[in-house]
Amino acid sequence: MATWPGSLLNAAVVTGIVCYYCVTYSAANGISTTPGLSFLRDSSFDNRKVTSDPDGLDLDATTVAKCAYLCSATAWCTSFFYTQSSGACTLHVTAFIAPSDASDSVGTRYYTTVVDWCRPQLVRVYNRQAEMCMYFETDLAKIVPTWQTADSRCVDMGMRLASNITPLKMDAILNVTKTPTMVTSLFIGLLRIPPAGNNEMQWMDGEPMDVAAMEPYWEPGQPNGGSSQLCVVIETHPGKNFLVDVGCNVAHEFVCEVLKP
C-alpha cells in the first residue's frame, strides 16, 4: 500500500458528505484542490466492499477525509471505499450502484463523487474524467417497450438519452456496466439515418456520429439491420461491451444523462 504524503491540518465531515474543499492541507505537500467537488456516502454499501474491480487502487489513509483527498487529487477517481479500523482506502474509476456486487467488510463505508449539477436525487452516477452525469434504468419492472418511451422517461426526469457519446463518455458508461449485475442492453440516443439500407448513424440532436472514434465499440458486423433496426443499444456482457443496432419497438433498459450547465 502507498503511504499518505504529509499531514492533515484540518478536515470537515458534514451530514455524510466529505468536502475536500473544506479541508486545509500543508502547503509543503504541493497539493491543490478544486472547489465544488464533494463525496457523498452511500449507506446501502455500509459494511460492504467491492473487491472484484481490477482497476481499484489500494492506499493508506488514517481518516476518511484523507481518503477523500486522495480521491480528489487523482484525476480518474470517481468513488472510494474506506475502512476505519485499518485505514484502507481504495479508489475506483467507476461508481458502483449495486450492493449485491460487494462482499462483507465490517466498518467499511463507500463514497461517490457529487457536483452541484449532478446531485443524487435519483440514482445518478458522476464520472469525473468525462464530466458525465448518468442515470441507469435497469429495474426489470421499469423496462420500457420502445426507444421513444425511453426518450420520454429521460425527458420527464430532466435528462436526455445518453448522446453525443465520445470514447471518453463510452468508457464512463462501460465502467459502470462492467459489474456482474449490469449485464444488460441500454438504449442510447443514437439513430440510423434514413433511407433504408443506410448504415450512417447520427445522434438524436442531429449531430453525426464520429465513425472512426466509435468504430472499436461496435460489435463485429454491426450495424447491419437496415430499415428494420433504426435504434442502438449498448450490449454489456462480462469481458466485452458492444454497440448493436436494434429495432426501436423492442423493450430494453436505458441510460440517461444530465447535460452540464
Dist. CA 160–CA 48, nearest whole Å: 32
Task: Write out the three cell numbers for 22.
Answer: 473544506
Rama region for 62: left / alpha / beta (φ>0; ψ in -120 to 50; rest) = alpha
Dist. CA 80–CA 91, nearest whole Å: 4
pLDDT of residue 7: 32
Length of the chain: 261
Collapse the DSSP code of 210 into the 3-class scheme (helix H, G, I; strand E, B; otherwise coil) and give the result: coil
Domain with CATH 3.50.4.10 in the chain: 8-114
pLDDT of residue 21: 42
Domain with CATH 3.10.100.10 in the chain: 129-258
Dist. CA 61–CA 89, nearest whole Å: 6
Dist. CA 104–CA 62, nearest whole Å: 21
Task: Write out the three cell numbers for 34.
Answer: 478544486
What fold does the segment set 8-114 form as a domain?
Hepatocyte Growth Factor (3.50.4)
Q: Cα Rg for the chain, rounded, in angstroms?
A: 20
Asked: is 129-258 a CATH 3.40.50.1820 domain? The reply is no
Amino acid occupying residue 196: A
Task: Write out the three cell numbers for 167.
Answer: 470514447
Place of cell 456482474: 180
pTM, two decimal places: 0.77
Collapse the DSSP code of 78 into the 3-class scheme (helix H, G, I; strand E, B; otherwise coil) and give the result: coil
* Terminal C-alpha separation, the chain: 39
> What are the average pLDDT values for consecutive 10-residue runs of the chain, which has 261 residues?
33 41 36 56 90 88 84 87 94 85 92 78 79 83 84 92 94 80 83 71 91 89 80 80 89 90 84
pLDDT of residue 25: 35
